[in-house]
Amino acid sequence: IYPLSKGGVSGTVVDAKLVFSVALKCNASSIVIAHNHPSGNLKPSEADLRLTKKLKEAGNYLDVKVLDHIILSREGYYSFADESQM
């Protein structure tokens, strides 16, 4: 587990270079990314969808597979893999 970004109430910045620098330093062959939605809304935002696509594409170039992107809240979780969005 690596805490990459800490944001405000409405968003945060995720730098793909930092995500994969950690993965590569750990010699990871795959990763799972996760973040929370303090609002409790588990529906992925447009930014969540763009980030998932961007990280998945970057991982393909680096041979580091992005297995899942999980959104967590007090209400439960949303898994991009479970919803066939990976």
Q: What does pLDDT average to over the chain? A: 92
Indicate the pLDDT class of residue 12, thresholds 50, 70 and 90.
confident
pLDDT of residue 72: 95
> What digits encode the pLDDT tens for the residues 23-46?
999 999 999 999 999 888 999 999
pLDDT given for residue 1 in this prediction: 78
Strand locations in the chain (E):
30-36, 65-73, 76-79
Distance CA(84)–CA(7), nearest Å, equals: 27
